[in-house]
Structure 1
Amino acid sequence: MSALRFGTEAPRVTLLHGAGLNAHTWDTTSLAMRQPLLAIDLAGHGDSSWRSDADYTPRTLAVDVAAALDAWTEQPQLIVGQSLGGLTGAALAATRPDLVSALVIVDITPGIDVSAGPAALRAFYEGHTDFATRDELVDKAMSLGFGGTRPETERGVFLNTRVRADGRIEWKHHFAHLVAQALAAHDPGSAVAPSVLHETGWDDMAAVRAPITLVRASRGFVSEPDAAELRRRMPEARVVVLDATHNVQETAPAALADLIASTAAGTPTGSGL
């Protein structure tokens, strides 16, 4: 397991990224918070190892996160998880409540409908999985509407790729390779197999005893019916809407940092619904 450590004191906040991302997705949010924290590369992402069984479901990932927290933290953490990281955080809080003081879930629920996302992702990942230059990936990402400005996209691609021994560029995260393999086999069902969804997600959420905040991105994946279902199942949960896309930590880092910091301080802010 790999992680980024911000600050010199023991962290009170741990950040978990979404599928296909890495710990660096939190860089701007982390710098805005100005407090010690830990940003973990989930298994199969960033500089953490790929799983030989390709099992990246939240409960499996939570076991690895628990081991990392046992080794790298000294007190229960405010867990902030975006997308896949949010469901992983819920699984962690359900199975290791001693490690979690509060849970912030960013733009995900177990019942979310992600049907709008896979088409663009399939177009992005289909074909070969290695490239001559990073510029190829930047051009493809921008043509499909991923990333922001070119410099921002170049930074994201640089941090999410590596150079192989033969000089070719490949993605660091395992998901790109799994999706490409499934598409090559003409199995669209398997192409979305490394999904953030898991049938036990609601069971995990129901088992969480720590306070829960759902951050819903106004231009993200969580719809109002999705948020309403979470409120129905967990009436004590707080729901906050931020003006952002699905990757809130990248498109509204200051607002998210304020929300996380106030939650950590026990004085939650934001437009709770």
Structure 2
Amino acid sequence: MGVPVPPVERLTFALADGRTLSALRFGSSSPRITLLHGAGLNAHTWDTTVLALGQSALVLDLPGHGDSSWRDDLDYTPRALAGDVAAALDAWTDAPQVVVGQSLGGLTGAALAAARPDLVAELIVVDITPGIDTSAGPAALREFYAGPTDFASRDELVDRAIAFGFGGARPDTERGVFHNTRIRADGRVEWKHHFAHLAAQALAAHHAGDGATPSVLSAAGWDDLTTTAAPITLVRALHGFVSSADAEEFARRLPDARVVVLDATHNAQETAPAPLAELIASAHASAGM
């Protein structure tokens, strides 16, 4: 017997500056769980986790990703994104949330929890800390997105993802590429998210000698985490970006936080959806929701 598919609705919220923020709302009751994806992904990365969770959830396309508008100021730092997320949560939720953020979404969740504690009942940060080594996995992601930015077909993109080691089984990679790309009027396929286009520009500038490099990590992330009043859990993916040393630093700086290790890759929501969903459900229950 298969997992029942909950009702799902695409939501669109108009921000004050005219941009829009898009999200998927799963379930028929008011959500108590909000999920934030990582850089270069979109709300659909959480689909299997939400199905395993079996509870109502709000899953956002972060600004510059999925069906949400790109930012004209190119500011995709966690605090800038958190302001947009807060505006959407004010409109779409009626109670504090268990906020689960993977990678960039995790740092955005921390910024949200620090600035708007009324919106966050608990924070789960998936495979990111403000102190991770950006010369390893994140650098590989920048190279992957650095170009070309358009392709003859989605199959070409799937091949590229697998060649870089970012794809899982080919059908799973094909699904991810489908949800993360669009076909232009000229028939070429391009990434929907702004990061790919910014990475290409930054790499070109770097090769030209100005040393530019895109990054969303900053010391502000530690400030946000240490001033967060809500309970915090770090999920370290065993085959992800957060090393054991990174996790130890996290635990030292945040002695009241919990650290959990999952046998997963950086995109734990795709490679370990069931154990991640179990952890989220536990947080949801402990928060008394």
Band the TM-score falls in, shorter-chain normalisation: over 0.9
**Cα gap change, 1:115 to 1:188, in 2 (>3 Å):** farther
User: Within 5 A, what are the aligned runs for 1:118-267?
Assistant: 118-185=138-205, 186=207, 189-191=211-213, 193=214, 195-266=215-286
**Equivalent residue in structure 2 for 1:18, among 38, 43, 55:** 38
Residues 77 and 102, structure 1, Cα contact 8 Å, conserved in 2: yes
Q: Please give the alpha-carbon distance, in whole angstroms, between the structure 1 residues aligned to 2:211 and 2:126.
A: 26
User: Within 5 A, what are the aligned runs for 1:80-91?
Assistant: 80-91=100-111
Q: Secondary structure at the match of 2:144?
A: helix
Is 1:116 the counterpart of 2:136 in the alignment? yes
How many angstroms does 1:222 deviate by?
Answer: 1.0
Q: Please give the alpha-carbon distance, in whole angstroms, between the structure 1 residues aligned to 2:227 and 2:183.
A: 42
Which is worse superposed, 115-124 or 71-80?
115-124
**Cα gap change, 1:168 to 1:205, in 2 (>3 Å):** same
Residues 50 and 57, structure 2, Cα contact 8 Å, conserved in 1: yes
Q: Please give the alpha-carbon distance, in whole angstroms, between the structure 2 residues aligned to 1:137 and 1:16.
A: 24
State the TM-score, normalizing by the size of structure 1. Answer: 0.94
**Equivalent residue in structure 1 for 2:69, among 41, 49, 52:** 49
How many angstroms does 1:118 deviate by?
Answer: 4.3
Which is worse superposed, 178-187 or 97-106?
178-187
How many angstroms does 1:6 deviate by?
Answer: 0.5
1:215-251 C-alpha deviation (Å, 9 max, x unpaired): 1111111111111111111111011111111111011
User: Which residue identity lines up with residue 91 of structure 2 in the other structure?
Assistant: A
Residues 121 and 287, structure 2, Cα contact 8 Å, conserved in 1: no
Report the RMSD for the aligned CA atoms in angstroms: 1.5
Q: Please, which runs of 5 or more residues in structure 1 have no aligned partner?
A: 269-273
Is 1:104 the counterpart of 2:100 in the alignment? no
How many angstroms does 1:267 deviate by?
Answer: 8.1
User: Which residue identity lines up with residue 190 of structure 1 in the other structure?
Assistant: A
1:3-42 C-alpha deviation (Å, 9 max, x unpaired): 0110011000000000111110000000000000001000
**Number of residue pairs matched?**
266
How many angstroms does 1:262 deviate by?
Answer: 0.8
Structure 1 counterpart of 2:16: none
How many angstroms does 1:48 deviate by?
Answer: 0.4
State the TM-score, normalizing by the size of structure 2. Answer: 0.89
Q: Secondary structure at the match of 1:51?
A: coil
Is 1:9 the counterpart of 2:10 in the alignment? no
Aligned identity (percent) is 73
